Amino acid sequence: MAALWEDVLRDQPAVREAAAVAVDAALLEGVLMRTEGQPNASDVVNYAPFTLLPSAVPRALFEQAYAVQQDFNLLVDAISQNKEFLEQTLASTIKVDDFTARLFRIHTQVLEEGLAQSVFLGINRSDYMFDCGVDGTPALKQIEINTIAASFGGLTSRTAAVHGRVLKVLGKPEEASRLLTNNPSRGLAWGIAKAWELYGAPGAVVMFLVEEVQRNIFDQRCVENELWNRNIRVIRKRFRDVFEKGSLDDARRLYMEGQEVAVVYYREGYVPKNYDQQNWEARLLLERSRAVKCPDIATQLAGTKKVQQELSRPGTLERLLPGQAEAVARIRATFAGLYSLDMGEEGDKMAAAAIADPDRFVLKPQREGGGNNLYGEELRQVLEKIRDSPERTSYILMDKIKPQPSMNYLLRAHSPLQVSECISELGIFGVYVRQGQELVMNRAAGHLLRTKATKHADGGVAAGVAVLDTPYLV
Annotated catalytic residue: which of 305, 306, 392, 400? Answer: 305
Alpha helices in 142-266 (DSSP H): 156-169, 173-177, 184-199, 217-229, 239-245
Q: What is the DSSP string of 301-340?
A: HHTSHHHHHHHTSTTHHHHHSTT-HHHHHHHHTTPPPEEE
Cβ atoms < 10 Å from Cβ of 1? 21
Distance, CA of 405 to CA of 453 (rounded, Å): 9
| Secondary structure of residue 460 in the 3-state scheme | coil
Q: Is there a contact between 293 and 266 (Cβ–Cβ < 8 Å)?
A: yes
Residue 194 CB-half CA count within 13 A? 22
Residue 182 is among the residues annotated as catalytic for this protein? no
Annotated catalytic residue: which of 221, 450, 452, 460? Answer: 450
| Secondary structure of residue 10 in the 3-state scheme | helix
Residue 450 is among the residues annotated as catalytic for this protein? yes
Annotated catalytic residue: which of 144, 175, 226, 425? Answer: 144
Distance, CA of 64 to CA of 368 (rounded, Å): 24
Annotated catalytic residue: which of 125, 293, 392, 400? Answer: 125
Please name the helix (run of DSSP H) or strand (run of DSSP E) that holds residue 205, with its range, or none. Answer: strand 205-209
Q: How many helices (H) and strands (E) does the chain have?
A: 19, 20
Distance, CA of 230 to CA of 333 (rounded, Å): 39
Annotated catalytic residue: which of 368, 370, 373, 408? Answer: 368
Residue 187 is among the residues annotated as catalytic for this protein? no
| Secondary structure of residue 344 in the 3-state scheme | coil
Annotated catalytic residue: which of 364, 400, 434, 452? Answer: 364
Q: Is there a contact between 250 and 213 (Cβ–Cβ < 8 Å)?
A: no
Annotated catalytic residue: which of 197, 236, 369, 376? Answer: 369
Residue 144 is among the residues annotated as catalytic for this protein? yes
Contacts 24+ apart (CB under 8 A), 106-115: 106/280, 106/283, 106/284, 106/287, 106/297, 107/83, 107/287, 107/297, 107/298, 107/301, 109/284, 110/284, 110/287, 110/288, 110/297, 111/83, 113/288
Residue 305 is among the residues annotated as catalytic for this protein? yes
Annotated catalytic residue: which of 73, 80, 146, 373? Answer: 146
Q: Is there a contact between 424 and 1 (Cβ–Cβ < 8 Å)?
A: no
Residue 369 is among the residues annotated as catalytic for this protein? yes
Residue 185 is among the residues annotated as catalytic for this protein? no
Annotated catalytic residue: which of 151, 182, 373, 394? Answer: 151
Which residues are known to be catalytic? Answer: 125, 144, 146, 151, 305, 364, 368-369, 450
